[in-house]
């Protein structure tokens, strides 16, 4: 939210209408290539589900 509302200065309506992919593309435009490795793997998701079963 801080990035979308503060850095990009999107209106709340535009922020909530944006998709995660659009926000990621905006972040890449502002900060360059992100360091993240992309989407988590299935093993990552399963490990998180074990850690946080709710």
Mean pLDDT by 10 residues, the chain (54 residues): 93 95 90 72 92 90
- Measured from the Cβ of residue 4, the count of other Cβ atoms closer than 10 Å reads 19
pLDDT of residue 31: 85
């Amino acid at each position: 939210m801080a990035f979308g509302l503060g850095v990009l200065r999107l209106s709340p309506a535009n922020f909530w209408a944006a998709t995660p992919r659009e926000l990621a593309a905006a972040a890449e435009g502002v900060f360059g290539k992100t360091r993240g490795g992309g989407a988590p793997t299935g093993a990552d998701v399963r490990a998180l589900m074990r850690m946080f079963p709710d």
